[in-house]
Structures are given as C-alpha cells and as structure tokens.
Amino acid sequence: MTTTDKAVDNRTPGETRRVHVREVGPRDGFQNEPETIATPDKIALINALGQSGFDRIEVASFVRPDVLPQLADGVEVLRSIEVPDHVRRQVLVPNSKGLDNALRVRDLFEDVALFVSSSQTHNRKNINRTVEETMADVQVMGKRVLAEDLGLCSVIATSFGCPYEGHVPIDDVLDLAEQFAEAGATEIGFGDTTGMANPAYVTRFFQRAFERLPGVELTAHFHNTRGQGLANAYAALEAGCTSFESSFGELGGCPVPAGSTGNIATEDLVSMFHEMGVETGIDLVATIEAAREAQEVLGRKLTSHSIVAGPVLWGGVPA
Ligand code: ZN
C-alpha cells in the first residue's frame, strides 16, 4: 500500500466494507417510460430482480393513476410478484389519500417511502403542494405508517440543487431531513433528481448530514443526468455513506423538467463497488441479465454500461 492509499483508507487492514444497494427501477424507472409497460412484463422483471440479492425493491407508487398512468397497475403488480422473504417491498406514497389506498393492501409491502422536494417550485410542479403542506402531511402519515408496523423511509428530491431555483443550502435540506426523522423515518434518502450534484459537493453534503443526523440511515440516490452519477456515489461512499439507491438498466428520471434522465445503473454501481472490494450481496450477473430483459421489453437501447460490456473478468484492487 502506498502512502497516498493510506491517506484515504482509514480502515483497519483486512476490513471489508459492505453497503446496501436498493433497487428503485420498477418505480423510478418504469414511471418515466413514455410507453406503459405491460403488467406481466413488470412482474417478470421484478421477479428477476428479486432473485438478484437485493434486500429492498421499490415496486409501486400510490400517486394518482391519472397523474402517473405508467404505474396505475401498482396493486396488481404487488399482488402478483413473487420475491424471496428477505426482500422488502417498498411503495412510494405522495399524500394521505395515497396512503389510504396503500393501506387497503397493507399486507403486500413492508416499507413506505414518503417524499418532498427541497425547493418549493419543484415540489409544486411534482406534487402540486407547498413544502410546508407536504411536511405537515408527513407528520400525520408517519404516525399511521408506524401504527401499521411498517418501515418508514423518506426521500428528499432536489437535495443537491433545483432545476428551477438553483442551489439549495445544505442546512435547508437537512432541516427537512430532521422533520422526517421526527416523523419516525429511520432512513432518509437524498435524491439528485435532475443530476445537479458533483463529487466535491457530495462530500461536503454527506459530512454535514452525518453531523446533523446521527443514528439515521442516510441514503444516496443519484441520477446520471450529466454523467457524474458514479463519481458522486464514490464521493458519498468515501464520506461514510453505506446506503444507495439505483435503477437497473439506468432507467428512471423525473417527470419535471423534461430531459431529467435516468438513475445511475444498478449494475454499473454494483460493478464499481465489487471492483473496489466493497461488498453488496448482489449478484451482478443476474442484475445485468435483468437489465438486458428490460431492454428487450422496452425495445430500445438502455444507457447502462454493464449491459453492453458485461461484468469484468478480473476484479479487485491488485496488492
Ligand atoms: Zn430518482
């Protein structure tokens, strides 16, 4: 090991790092497809992901079907998928009405994710409410979710900048994160919804986030809109982040504004981590296969690198 290596690697020798990679493609990805994906195809893809070693998959959203027709079959998908018991099925819920609908099928999932945007303009364009209205509802919804003995997670969209309002101060984002924690969320995700983060900023962001939210699991959710997704994930890892969300095939994006393309590809992220000696528990080959299946179903080339190149044949960090 060289001196430079020592400067960045403060683990005890032989210690293996392990992270969680959570799959959000069936929700974040499918909702952004211009065509509606047939329900049986969604079920087959989620079942394939279920066999790939993820401990959580976001499978449905309870956003109004007229707003997001791509996910209108959420309940049918939840009813029909077959994933191993260790896979937590997560649903995204935008408001109390959506939670009413979700709780009608409460036995079909384990985790609820609530969300808000850090900026007023993006929140209004995305879910047509102010940030304050959303957060007031979060406090009410949080109690109901916990009373049902479900896991409560949360995501703050545009955490690294808003395409309409520009820079959002880190502490403003973390004020919202604290409100989620007060509502009972045990995990808070920071979404780079439109790909505005950069590695230097991500480092500073997570250092501050860990200072302000001790004991809360913090999740990095990067989009690869401008090609900086993996660099941002690396920066988050080095800042101590051990939880990541990504989307197989690099599917995904955001409904607003146009051009907000996909999440980082799960298989590219897992490939990078495995190469670095960071364990994920995920079967990379199976994930690449699932992404290739998605490519078949969609009938267009997806932007993931690993589905083109395949897994590397030698790995690790040479001594
Ligand atoms: Zn996303």
pLDDT of residue 5: 40
Is it the case that residue 288 has pLDDT exceeding 50? Answer: yes
Interval 217-230: pLDDT, tens? 999 999 999 999 99
Please choose, from the candidates 25, 38, 32, the residue with its C-alpha nearest in 3D space to the C-alpha of residue 76: 38
Per-residue pLDDT, averaged over 277-290, amounts to 97
Per-residue pLDDT, averaged over 121-136, amounts to 94
Distance 158 CA to ligand 1 centre (A): 10
Confidence of residue 3 (pLDDT cuts 50, 70, 90): very low
198: Cβ contacts below 8 Å, ≥ 6 apart = 228, 231, 232
> What structural domains and CATH numbers belong to the chain?
17-309 (3.20.20.70)
Which of 14-23, 95-104, 150-159, 160-169 is predicted least confidently? 14-23
pLDDT of residue 312: 84
Distance 160 CA to ligand 1 centre (A): 12
Distance 181 CA to ligand 1 centre (A): 20
Interval 16-35: pLDDT, tens? 899 999 999 999 999 888 87
Distance 173 CA to ligand 1 centre (A): 16
In this structure, which residues have their CB less than 5 angstroms from ion ligand 1? 28
Tell me what the pLDDT averaged over the chain comes to.
92
Interval 174-204: pLDDT, tens? 999 999 999 999 999 999 998 999 999 999 9
pTM to 2 decimals?
A: 0.92
* Distance from C-alpha of 253 to C-alpha of 28, rounded to nearest angstrom: 7
Distance 24 CA to ligand 1 centre (A): 8
Whether residue 263 contacts residue 223, with contact meaning beta carbons closer than 8 Å, is answered with yes
User: Could you tell me how many residues make up the chain?
Assistant: 319
First vs last C-alpha separation in the chain: 7
Q: Which residues are catalytic?
A: 254
Whether residue 243 contacts residue 187, with contact meaning beta carbons closer than 8 Å, is answered with yes
Is it the case that residue 270 has pLDDT exceeding 90? Answer: yes
pLDDT of residue 255: 67
Is it the case that residue 50 has pLDDT exceeding 60? Answer: yes
